[in-house]
Structure 1
Amino acid sequence: MSIMNSLRPGGRHGLSSRETRDPIGLAVAAVNRLAQSDLIDRVGLRKQTEQVVYSTTRNGFRVATAAGRQFARAGRRTAGARPASAESRGVFDLTPTEDEGMLVDVVRELAAEVLRPAASEADEACAAPAEVLAAAQEVGLPGLGVPEELGGIMEERSAMAGTLVAEALAQGDMGLAVAALAPGAVATAIGLWGTEAQQQTYLPAFTGSDVPAAALTIAEPTVLFDPFVLATTALRDGDGFVLDGVKSAVVRGADAELFVVAAMLDGTPALFLVESGTDGLAVEADPSMGVRAAGLARLHLTGVRLGADALLGDTDGTAYAECVRLSRLAWCALAVGTGQAVLDYVKDYVNEREAFGEPISHRQSVAFMVADIAIEVQAMRLLTWKAASRATRGQDFAREVALARQLCTEKGMRIGLDGVQLLGGHGFVKEHPVERWYRDLRAVGVMEGVVIV
């Protein structure tokens, strides 16, 4: 069923009067505008324009960051707000709510009809097509973590909704999913930990029609990177700070207009808001083995001076620790979605591919391998959803997200490897997407930051 048909009156996603007033219902309704546009028709049919990250990938030189917009310091008159935690239903039930289910249906169709066809070229170009990013914006993904009082679409905090969306997008392509979710990660961070002035200054840009490229950057190009022991430093300088260091795996770094940068402050990791027009910033390409469509770059900070209002959250590391956990939860969701894509693809392949006069799925070794993938995907999903459910209710989820990350890291790589193995020689060529999913799944255990839910 296409997105267009699913939103027609009387269809299974036809919006009732209650749903059109509901924040998530509004996000679903936004897809109607997307379906009526020509974005979907253009994806995959038009050669995408070279972007700065692609140029630097080819040439390897360092360039200045994008000239960012002037964020309105006066802000809005709307008071700041924190998203409220969801109430517990009193039972262990991970079933998505009706609204979450509606949202996921729409995002899953977006992934199938927009992300999947564009994934191969985006991976080769190391850049997400503008059409894909515009489609994600039309659905309202950047505002998913923004409180309704500040123009977002959520009445209460919903790490569960963010997890479900990340999983659904990754079934299309992990790299494009990361590129589409990156601005929303910055908006979510500001919504969770920003001061009233920071929310009024930056959040309106993420709920409007022209959402800025933005990136959360924690990772650094060091061996055995530990997110709680950073080489990037923030030194106090009068009433402000001076940042120095290098950050890696910065999503759409050459285009980003706002960064949330992790740095050590007085021996404790902290988060800082850095606009791209700030002196001392430079960016260069950081192409990787996987997640290439996200347009990864390195951000160089040399004597970057920030005001006291640039600090995001506290100085005791509490907000930063939660940021790391929410990021790891997001990567688990991406692993589940990509693992599901591998399962769906190889299941059809082994049933259709014949050898010695019968489908290769009739071989026990093949059937057992597919069954193992199915079991592992479901186990990954269960642990990830449990951690997301606790985060949504404001409960401690450190243990749950640690277990989920360990399982998704280990089994995610195994699923990618088995997927390539099941396709034999076809698993090694780019004609089939499994080799790209294998490369993407290897990122789950090494990527820190980038996206949060």
Structure 2
Amino acid sequence: MASRKDPMGIGLAVLNRIASSPAIDRLGLRKQAESAVYHGTRTGFQAAGAAARTFKRVKGSGKPVRQHTTADSGVFDLSPTEDQQMIVGVINEFASEVLRPGAEAAEAADSTTAEVLAQTTEFGLSLLNVPEDLGGLSEERSAITGVLVAEALAEGDMGQAVACLAPAAVATAISLWGSDEQQQTYLPAFTGEDVPVAALVVAEPRPLFDPFELSTTATRTGDGFVLDGLKSGVVRGLDAELFIVAAQLDGAPALFVVEAPTAGVSVAADPSMGLRAAGLAQLKLDQVSLPASALLGEGTLDDYRECVRLSRLGWAGLALGTGKAVLDYTKDYVVGREAFGEPIAYRQSVAFMVANIAIELEGMRLVTLRAASRAEQGLPYAREVALARRLTSEYGMKIGTDGVQLLGGHGFVKEHPVERWYRDLRAVGLMEGAVLV
């Protein structure tokens, strides 16, 4: 049993108890047949948050609470700790027994089932980067743990993984950069049993989108701000109760906390090529008036840069998990598929292609974990994140393409999941925001 001084031990002990409990069976999630959809796609912009909760505003009384950076051990070792192995084991079981069997139905519905999302709440995914003093699980930042969790979830299904991780992104952002008032107002909802549907919104629907040159604007008023613009890639946007929105303020991007029922906020379904189970939507901001307290923390450019980098690390982790799924599936397929009296794996061209997937995946994983390690130690990591972004977006797409190619005609049909993984991997180099480690 981990002691209370162990920053990750408490949360992982909870996860271990859940893994050994009948909770998954109680929800019927081990049965593939019960992985059904619970609502269909809605179309057209509509007012957001008609049934959303009201967040009780708490006036700040002190400095915000931040997690500590992890001390440098002086040893270059990316092997997961015992606690990290424990949490990855739990998530892997959940991904293989719940997310993978339900992926096809979730994609068809453009949403992730309520039962699946409730189970991730029991796991405490939204608590991993919330300080212990605020009801979270740890006193230290662990970007590596965030990457490993994203990787494990995405090995089951990237679309559902994004839906599961979206509330955690908002909780993490408020923990990292929020003021004391914002932490006291919003974080209690994320540390309770009824975690709100929330989304970190950065992307915009325009060509060559640059997260540092936003079309969405925030204009100062006498007592606050007015937001205008159109955002895309909003995870579970139709059901969201809280948004953190990126907008251009005084010539530089900043983040704002926007409650869904606010006048002028509307959403519309926006199904995409991949990540369909994430329930992506567009968010329209039409003269949305916000109080001065809506600006996340101090609204500095450095905070926003870190948000973009940590988000890209999260997407890199998702790419690793889906890439691993492609590798495992194609390995088994080429060994079992016969042509001209022998397995196609005996052909050099096929064997070399599978080997290349493994090599590319290993390189992606190494640079991503190195970036995450530097991030959690408080060291400069911009270069490492850029490398991780480049490798996971470029080789992620290549792995998806090669997976389809290795299956031949089977790679093009929905009978096999590789075509879905191919479409999901295309999102890694395009999406901004949505997840955060």
Q: Say whether the fold is shared (TM-score over 0.5).
A: yes
Q: Which moved more, 1:439-448 or 1:307-316?
A: 307-316
For 1:55, which of 18, 39, 42 is the aligned residue? 42
Q: Which moved more, 1:319-328 or 1:27-36?
A: 27-36
Contact 2:265/2:285 (CA < 8 Å) preserved in 1? Answer: yes
Contact 1:232/1:262 (CA < 8 Å) preserved in 2? Answer: yes
Q: Does 1:99 align with 2:83?
A: yes
Write the letter of the residue equivalent to 1:99. Answer: D
Write the letter of the residue equivalent to 1:254. Answer: L
Q: Does 1:372 align with 2:356?
A: yes
For 1:449, which of 423, 433, 437 is the aligned residue? 433
Q: Report how far residue 406 of structure 1 moved.
A: 0.5
What's the secondary structure of 2:238's corresponding residue?
A: coil
Q: Does 1:341 align with 2:330?
A: no
Distance (Å, rounded) in 1 between the aligned partners of 2:58 and 2:299: 25
Matched residue, 1:41: 30
For 2:301, which of 301, 317, 320 is the aligned residue? 317
Output one character per residue of 1:135-168: Cα deviation in whole Å (capped at 9) or x when no partner: 1111111111111111111221111110000001
Q: Does 1:23 align with 2:11?
A: yes
Q: Does 1:287 align with 2:236?
A: no
For 1:189, which of 156, 173, 191 is the aligned residue? 173
Q: Report how far residue 64 of structure 1 moved.
A: 1.1
Matched residue, 1:397: 381
Q: Does 1:169 align with 2:153?
A: yes
What's the secondary structure of 2:389's corresponding residue?
A: helix
For 1:66, which of 46, 49, 54 is the aligned residue? 49
Distance (Å, rounded) in 2 between the aligned partners of 1:233 and 1:16: 47
Q: Report how far residue 211 of structure 1 moved.
A: 0.3
Q: Report how far residue 29 of structure 1 moved.
A: 2.3
For 1:417, which of 394, 401, 425 is the aligned residue? 401
Q: Report how far residue 83 of structure 1 moved.
A: 0.8
Distance (Å, rounded) in 1 between the aligned partners of 2:62 and 2:162: 30
For 2:335, which of 338, 351, 357 is the aligned residue? 351
Distance (Å, rounded) in 2 between the aligned partners of 1:187 and 1:118: 26
What's the secondary structure of 2:219's corresponding residue?
A: strand
Contact 1:78/1:200 (CA < 8 Å) preserved in 2? Answer: no
Write the letter of the residue equivalent to 2:167. Answer: P
* Number of equivalent positions: 433
1:40-439 counterparts in 2 under 5 A? Answer: 40-41=29-30, 44-45=33-34, 47-51=36-40, 54-56=41-43, 61-67=44-50, 68-74=52-58, 80-439=64-423
Output one character per residue of 1:323-351: Cα deviation in whole Å (capped at 9) or x when no partner: 00001111111001100000000000001
Distance (Å, rounded) in 2 between the aligned partners of 1:134 and 1:81: 27
Matched residue, 1:11: none
Output one character per residue of 1:167-222: Cα deviation in whole Å (capped at 9) or x when no partner: 01000000000000000000000000011110011001011100000000000011
What's the secondary structure of 1:407's corresponding residue?
A: helix
What's the secondary structure of 1:299's corresponding residue?
A: strand
Q: Report how far residue 75 of structure 1 moved.
A: 7.1
Q: Which moved more, 1:16-25 or 1:326-335?
A: 16-25
What's the secondary structure of 1:315's corresponding residue?
A: coil
Distance (Å, rounded) in 2 between the aligned partners of 1:21 and 1:105: 14
Write the letter of the residue equivalent to 1:215. Answer: A
Identity fraction in percent: 61
Write the letter of the residue equivalent to 1:24. Answer: L
Mark the CA change 1:333 to 1:21 in structure 2 (over 3 Å): closer, same or farther: closer
What's the secondary structure of 1:300's corresponding residue?
A: strand
Q: Report how far residue 37 of structure 1 moved.
A: 2.1
Q: Report how far residue 50 of structure 1 moved.
A: 1.3
Q: Which moved more, 1:31-40 or 1:437-446?
A: 31-40
RMSD, aligned CA: 1.7
Matched residue, 1:9: none
Q: Which moved more, 1:267-276 or 1:31-40?
A: 31-40
Write the letter of the residue equivalent to 2:112. Answer: A
Q: Report how far residue 17 of structure 1 moved.
A: 7.3
Contact 1:187/1:203 (CA < 8 Å) preserved in 2? Answer: yes
Mark the CA change 1:362 to 1:402 in structure 2 (over 3 Å): closer, same or farther: same
Q: Which moved more, 1:66-75 or 1:147-156?
A: 66-75
Contact 2:15/2:90 (CA < 8 Å) preserved in 1? Answer: no
The gaps in structure 2 that reach 5 residues or longer are none
Q: Report how far residue 32 of structure 1 moved.
A: 3.7
Q: Which moved more, 1:67-76 or 1:190-199?
A: 67-76
